[in-house]
Amino acid sequence: MPESIPENSVGLVKPQTAHFAQPLALDCGRTLAAYDLIYETYGKLNADSSNALLICHALSGDHHAAGYHSMLDRKPGWWENYIGPGKPIDTNQFFVVSLNNLGGCKGSTGPTSLDPKTGKAYGPDFPIITVRDWVESQVLLGERLGIKQWAAVIGGSLGGMQSLQWSIQYPDKLRHCVVIAAASKLSAQNIAFNEVARQAMLRDPEFHEGRYYEHNTVPKRGLMLARMLGHITYLSDDAMRAKFGRELREGKLNFGFDAAEFQVESYLRYQGESFVDRFDANTYLLMTKALDYFDPASDYEDDLAKALAPAKAQFLVCSFTSDWRFAPARSREIVHALQQNRLAVSYAEIEAHQGHDAFLIKIPHYIAAFSAYMQRIAKEINA
């Protein structure tokens, strides 16, 4: 827990909930009759609502992007390094909205929510959600908050895919689009990683076909394995070597299978076990499917330039050299497609050894590039 709130933090924040009674038609052919979206805001909305930014979260993220919920919090929000007074997303200049997407497990309607038809948790009966569905719900949240056009929609990883979809689906509702450590579609290798993670949960004896809530249990082993696998893909070989090497926990080999002998084994087990306490398996399944399904060019004979033709926003695209899950080549594909449409795009390829997780970490070149672009947006607002 923090001894005191840092001056450059947004401080103590309180989540808010927006209830939507109107039906939401989904890509899968089903309809949500009503739903809730939980969100947080940082900074103040200006008189003409022109300084609003939307933050879209990644697979295991949520609405709590910055600040603290109480003085008992061990950690701040997931993007504390980049949201706050004087930070790249400067809350002295911008009104920032961060939400938990539909299908989430942190307050928005999802598998853990009660299905009004049955009075029980949706569980596996919750519909498959796509990135397009998320954008539709985010548009409605913006309208509820009185925001007709976002100064920018910003996201990293799966959040960057949402930003990109915004530029296609609602081109007049955002002026800038920030796509960080993302891709226009997953590679076969990425889909394979997601499938292994899903199978780890689906085959857990405690999964009970997704109805584990009714059995008062959790598929801990499967969810833990899924997180361990995912975490390996978020880090680079260099990052793991620098952090752990082949260091032994007790300085010697135990010649067994149960104990975590290497520091990296202990780290992965800790990450998996802590994830079980804060995330839902059915939500993890939904999020990975949303990742797999995202492919805006699929309706345009795999031509990304045609898919991005409706876009009108100005773009910042960032990638990281050691990110092998969403490699810089995938970001350059987006940049090239935008250039084919004669759209304004800035591209920053950041030298970083941390892997995919680099978009969450303080890296000087990244901070400088991100800050410069956001200051440009701030100047437009204040012009």
Q: Is 27 annotated as a binding residue?
A: no
Burial, 43: exposed, middle or buried (Cβ in 10 Å; 0-12, 13-18, 19+)? buried
Rounded to an integer, what distance in angstroms lies between the CA atom of residue 291 and that of residue 182? 11
Reply yes or no on whether 323 is catalytic: yes
Reply yes or no on whether 157 is catalytic: yes
Tokens of 49: 């609502």
- Number of CB atoms found within 10 A of residue 347's CB: 19
Reply yes or no on whether 57 is catalytic: no
Rounded to an integer, what distance in angstroms lies between the CA atom of residue 143 and that of residue 160? 21
Q: Is 227 annotated as a binding residue?
A: yes
Please tell me which residue in 9, 157, 163, 236 is annotated as part of the active site: 157
Contact by Cβ (8 Å): 19, 33:
no
- Up-side HSE of residue 25: CA atoms within 13 Å toward CB? 1
3-state secondary structure labels for all residues of 220-289 = HHHHHHHHHHHHHHHCCHHHHHHHCCCCECCCCCCCCCCCCCEHHHHHHHHHHHHHHCCCCHHHHHHHHH
Contact by Cβ (8 Å): 383, 102:
no
Please tell me which residue in 64, 163, 323, 331 is annotated as part of the active site: 323
Rounded to an integer, what distance in angstroms lies between the CA atom of residue 285 and that of residue 212? 14
Q: Which residue ranges make up the annotated binding site?
A: 227, 357
What are the catalytic residues?
157, 323, 356
Annotated binding residues for substrate, written as ranges, equal 227, 357
